[in-house]
Amino acid sequence: MNSSVYVRKSWLSVASAVLLSVMIALTGCVDQAGVGGVNDSVIVKDVEFPPKEKVSLKVMVRGVTNVEDYATNSFTKWYEEKTNVHIDWEVIPAANAQDKLNLVLASNNYPDVIFSFGITPTTQMIYGSQGVFVPLNKYIDKYGAETKRLMKEIPDLKDAMTAPDGNIYGLPYVNQCFQCSFPQRMWIYQPWLNKLGLKMPTTTDDLYNVLKAFKTRDPNGNSKADEIPMMGSITSTAESFLMNSFIFNQNPNHLLMNKGKVEAAFTHPEWKDGLAYMNKLYSEGLLSKQTFTQDDKQLKEAAENPNTPIVGVIPAFGVNTFTQIGGASGRWLDYVAVPPLKGPKGIQIGAINPNNFTNANFVITSSSKNPEIAFRWADGLYNEDVSMRSVTGEPGKQWRKVGPEDAGLVGLDGRKAEWVELQPYGNLQNDGWNQTGNAHYSDNIRLGKASDPKTPNLAWILYKASKELYAPHQPSEKTVVPPLFFSNDQAMEMAPMQKTINDYVTESIARFITGDLKIDKDWDAYLKNLDGMNVKRYLEINQAAYDAKYKK
């Protein structure tokens, strides 16, 4: 993470700082150096902002489970008051998001804005070249105060946002988050280790033995065989963490670099070994069957089972995925991070996602009658004070700035704290958008959060685990596939191929682990099916995109 470009600042009073910065963001009072672009068909009108008459935008948003209602959300109302832009929300559950996006893009009936879908570079190129997604270059040139500030502060951001045709079709969520760089984690219920006199597992063999003990030695002490040694969900998947004990598993496409060549991890013999290990866990009842059918809500219900804990090990980004932060059970503090496990051949990887920004989380479609207003609404969301409120919630309710009574409080990185959390982040609330859409959650915000190890919060738990456990085992930069953007022709060829291959790999992972496919009997047929899906051509296109951008 490049935090050196950020200068930590003293915070003004909440009210004056937010109001002042919003108005600066919304009036575009910064250096107006152009960002370039090749689409000359876009004409950007002069618009007053905030507009005198309220403007409504139809926004299709990928919802998150901890935002109660976008329409009644207090941040929505606050931002509407500041911008005079009303949002008519169409909220799509995360589980159905990709299918819904595909249907909408095929329908020619678009909302004004597609928000928080993380639209891939391939999809951006296809629908950008067709005119469905509006190029943002000229809007950024004329009105992009906060967008251009980010491009200046994060040198590789503009390049990552820009398609091969020179256009920028979407704005990302910029998340300067060291702990988010290591998203593939696993958690274990420490009281069960203590009860049984077991040590934290450090190898795949250790984990197997611990799970066996959890299954057979009644660690919850209720004299019932109700323990679930390990459980995940369709989004918190077992292989996400465990495969890194066999081969580098870079989600979501499972590709890796090997001496400058893009390769598919899912065709390597080591991938087969990882599947065999997980099949062993499954076949012996150590990995729950529900892992492959339930969502995170159901996973949380199991992990927060009333009165008696029943789940021992859970693969997930954070404890907030499966426990109630600050909840009465207190289990969110009892689940501790498992270090990267050393596999049978000595592989031990803390999988890293080095990018601190998403794919396009804000896109304007050709249906928008007010693209200038839509863009300026989105640009304002990048302002740091606006982002603080959008992501963290309402000042005075979810958080407050430090005061004289907070002398000695430090942030995540040990420097003086700048704000204090009042309500646990990650729980259901209706005062912020969590990490919806485009925002700039900077190092200045994240590292300035008061974090006392004696009273840990979620950010402190994730930061500590990432720094102490995962970062020391991160893969070489030469192993990680960097962000790739594809030409229009490449994108058109790539899109159906990528979906077919990824869907088949995801399905096959579950089938091999559950034994529906047999590792020894069906592996060659699996590889043959991938050949039939033209995985060779798929890798060639990725290689060409890599060479065009990175090969010197």
Secondary structure (DSSP) of 163-195: -TTS-B--EEEEE--TGGG----EEEEHHHHHH
515 versus 32: which is more confidently predicted?
Answer: 515
Residue 546 domain-assigned (yes or no)? yes
**Least confident segment among 92-96, 370-374, 522-526:** 92-96
345's tokens: 């051949």
Nearest to 450 by CA among 6, 11, 16: 11
Q: pLDDT class for 35, splitting at 50, 70, 90?
A: low
Report the pLDDT averaged over residues 214-224: 97
CB 219 within 8 A of CB 227: yes
Range of the domain at 532: 488-550
User: pLDDT averaged over the chain?
Assistant: 90
| pLDDT the model gives residue 384 | 93
| pLDDT the model gives residue 39 | 61
| Pair (537, 441) in one structural domain | no
| Pair (18, 158) in one structural domain | yes
Element (H, E) at 76: helix 74-83
156 versus 40: which is more confidently predicted?
Answer: 156
| Pair (124, 8) in one structural domain | yes
| Pair (146, 10) in one structural domain | yes
Report the pLDDT averaged over residues 203-215: 98
363's tokens: 């896109």
At 8, which CATH number?
A: 3.40.190.10
| pLDDT the model gives residue 73 | 98
Q: Is omega for the bond preceding 252 within 30 degrees of 0, making it cis? A: yes
Task: Specify the pTM.
Answer: 0.75
What's the rounded Cα separation, in Å, for the pair 481 and 488?
A: 20
| pLDDT the model gives residue 2 | 33
Report the pLDDT averaged over residues 423-435: 90
| pLDDT the model gives residue 36 | 57
Q: pLDDT class for 204, splitting at 50, 70, 90?
A: very high
| Pair (153, 58) in one structural domain | yes
Confidence check: pLDDT of 252 > 70:
yes
Residue 309 domain-assigned (yes or no)? no
Residue 357 φ/ψ, nearest 5 degrees: -150, 155
| Pair (23, 157) in one structural domain | yes
| pLDDT the model gives residue 552 | 65
Residue 131 domain-assigned (yes or no)? yes
| Pair (105, 19) in one structural domain | yes
Residue 259 domain-assigned (yes or no)? no
According to DSSP, the residues that pair with 102 across neighbouring strands are: none
Residue range 5-22, pLDDT digits in tens = 222 233 333 333 334 344
Confidence check: pLDDT of 425 > 90:
no
Confidence check: pLDDT of 31 > 50:
no
| Pair (436, 542) in one structural domain | no
Confidence check: pLDDT of 423 > 50:
yes
Residue 368 domain-assigned (yes or no)? yes
| Pair (378, 499) in one structural domain | no
354 versus 395: which is more confidently predicted?
Answer: 395
Element (H, E) at 507: helix 488-514
510's tokens: 């579950």
| Pair (50, 134) in one structural domain | yes
Residue type at position 244: N
Report the pLDDT averaged over residues 438-455: 86
Residue range 264-317, pLDDT digits in tens = 999 999 999 999 999 999 999 999 999 999 999 999 999 999 999 999 999 999
Residue 239 domain-assigned (yes or no)? no
| pLDDT the model gives residue 29 | 42
**Least confident segment among 36-50, 121-135, 279-293, 498-512:** 36-50
Confidence check: pLDDT of 518 > 80:
yes
| Pair (47, 148) in one structural domain | yes
Long-range contacts of 396-400 (CB under 8 A, 24+ apart): 396/14, 396/422, 397/422, 397/423, 397/431, 398/422, 398/423, 398/425, 398/429, 398/431, 398/432, 399/423, 400/14
Sign of the torsion formed by the C-alpha atoms of 333, 187, 322 and 306: negative
DSSP secondary structure string for all residues of 81-124: HHH-EEEEEEEE-GGGHHHHHHHHHHHT---SEEEEEEE-HHHH
**How many structural domains comprise the chain?**
2
| pLDDT the model gives residue 370 | 97
Residue 122 domain-assigned (yes or no)? yes
Report the pLDDT averaged over residues 222-228: 97
Report the pLDDT averaged over residues 315-333: 93
| pLDDT the model gives residue 65 | 85
CA distance to 165, 446, 481, 527, 545, per residue, from 39 (Å):
9, 37, 29, 42, 22
| pLDDT the model gives residue 424 | 85
Residue 90 domain-assigned (yes or no)? yes
Q: pLDDT class for 514, splitting at 50, 70, 90?
A: very high
| Pair (442, 541) in one structural domain | no
**Least confident segment among 81-90, 358-367, 423-432:** 423-432
| pLDDT the model gives residue 12 | 31
Residue range 144-201, pLDDT digits in tens = 999 999 999 988 899 889 988 999 999 999 988 888 889 999 999 999 999 999 999 9
Q: pLDDT class for 359, splitting at 50, 70, 90?
A: confident
| pLDDT the model gives residue 392 | 94
